[in-house]
Amino acid sequence: MLETVSFYLFAGVLLFAALLAVTLRHPVYSVLCFLVSMFSLAVLFWLLKAYFVAVVHITVYAGAILILFLFVIMLLGFDKEPPALWTNPIRFGFAIGFSTLSLAGLLWIYKIAVCQAARPEPLSQAGTIESIGRLLFSSYLLPFEFLSVVLLVAIIGSVVLAKKEL
């Protein structure tokens, strides 16, 4: 009973913090709400008895990635004029359309290439480092590679945005 109440409590906190992270106008507050959502997601992993995933989630995402987000926000500053993309509605519409089509294409490729009926693992091995590694590099290799490309594009984008005009 306590696990069920904890699950619904932290799931609600996760959804509310994620909604605030997307809707808040101030970028630092958005990152802090994102931090709350990462911690509540780690608690959900902990309740599922995936202790390694919970600890890695806190150290990698809440520790490293969110600090990187804060550095990028502080580097870019939020008192500047908005980029030209946001002031030109045609370029903005093109960017939204291209992003939507790219996401739809990635989801279609994921559906075709990866979504297969995976054999369930025995309960004694679920959540161990070995089982996570086997799943990550066998069944989920394509999404893992897509994630690495998305992170590379995000890094290149932050460098381009932070570049000073000469």
The 10s digit of each residue's pLDDT in 144-165 is 888 888 888 888 887 777 776 6
* Residue 20 structural domain: 1-80
Q: Report yes or no on 26 lying in a domain.
A: yes
User: Tens of pLDDT along 24-45?
Assistant: 878 888 888 888 888 999 889 8
Q: Report yes or no on 124 lying in a domain.
A: no
Judge if pTM exceeds 0.75.
Answer: no
Structural domains in the chain (count): 1
Q: Report yes or no on 133 lying in a domain.
A: no
SS3 for the chain is CHHHHHHHHHHHHHHHHHHHHHHCCCHHHHHHHHHHHHHHHHHHHHHCCCHHHHHHHHHHHHHHHHHHHHHHHHHHCCCCCCCHHHHCHHHHHHHHHHHHHHHHHHHHHHHHHCCCCCCCCCCCCCCCHHHHHHHHHCCCHHHHHHHHHHHHHHHHHHHHHHCCCC
Question: What CATH number corresponds to the domain at position 34?
Answer: 1.20.120.1200
Q: Report yes or no on 95 lying in a domain.
A: no
Q: Report yes or no on 116 lying in a domain.
A: no
